[in-house]
Amino acid sequence: MTSTTDRPDPFKSLLRLSATDLNTNQRIRKAIDVGREYLGVDNGVISYTGEGQYEVVKTNIETGPYAEGGTVALDGTWCRHVVENRETLGFADAGETEHHDDVALETTGLHCYVGAAVDIDGETYGTLCFSDEEPRDDPITDHERDFVSILAEWVGAELEREKHYTELREQNDR
C-alpha cells in the first residue's frame, strides 16, 4: 500500500474531472481512481444497497464477488454500517478498532475501509467505498473522511443528473 504523503490534492483532481467532456460513466470511473490514489488503497466501489443486497455498480475490481455486477448480502459488508448509521465510516486497520470482530472483516477480508452514503433524490442509493486487504500504516484522517463524503455527494449528483436526463429523453421520445 502506498504512503499517504506527497499525494496530489484530490479536490483539484475532482474539480478538473468535473470540467471534462467525459460522460457520467467515465467521470465516475475516474473519480474512483482519484479516491483510490488519494487514500492509497487498492479498491474503489460504488454500490447499490437496496433490498438488503450489495450490488457492485462501478469498481476497479476485476474478478470475484466485488467485481462489477456482483451481488452479495449487505449484512456481510462494511458498507452496512454506512447505510444503517448514515455516517461516513473509516479506519486504517479494523483489527485495531471496535470493529475487530465484525463479520465484515471475515467475510470481505478488508482491513482498511472508508465509505460514505450515496444519495439520489434524497434517498439512499448505496455507498461509495475505498478499501484494502492490508491495513494502512497511517490512520484515516478527518480530512480523508470528509473527502470521501464529498466525493459520495458528487457521485450521487452525477448519478441523479444522468437519471433525470434519461427520464427526460424517454419522455421526449414518447
The model's pLDDT over 8-32, given as tens digits with 9 standing for 90+, comes to 677 777 777 776 778 888 989 999 9
Q: Can you list the residues of the chain whose pLDDT is less than 70?
A: 1-8, 19
pLDDT value at position 49? 96
Contacts of the segment 59-65: beta carbons below 8 A, 24+ positions apart = 59/32, 60/29, 60/32, 60/33, 60/36
Is residue 120 helix, strand or coil? Answer: strand
CA distance 158 to 148: 15
Q: pTM of the predicted model, to two decimals?
A: 0.87
The model's pLDDT over 100-119, given as tens digits with 9 standing for 90+, comes to 999 999 999 999 999 999 99
pLDDT value at position 2? 44
| Residue 68 and residue 59 in contact, taking contact as beta carbons nearer than 8 Å | yes
CA distance 115 to 131: 8
Query: What percentage of the chain reaches a pLDDT higher than 70?
Result: 93
Q: What is the 3-state secondary structure (H, E, C) of 88-117?
A: CEEECCHHHCCCCCCHHHHHHCCCEEEEEE
pLDDT value at position 12? 76
pLDDT value at position 3? 47
pLDDT value at position 80? 97
Query: In this structure, what C-alpha cell is assigned to residue 74?
Result: 449487505
Q: 98 phi and psi, to 5 degrees?
A: -65, -10
CA distance 30 to 54: 22
- What are the Cα distances from residue 19, in Å, to 14, 15, 129, 149, 156? 9, 7, 23, 20, 17
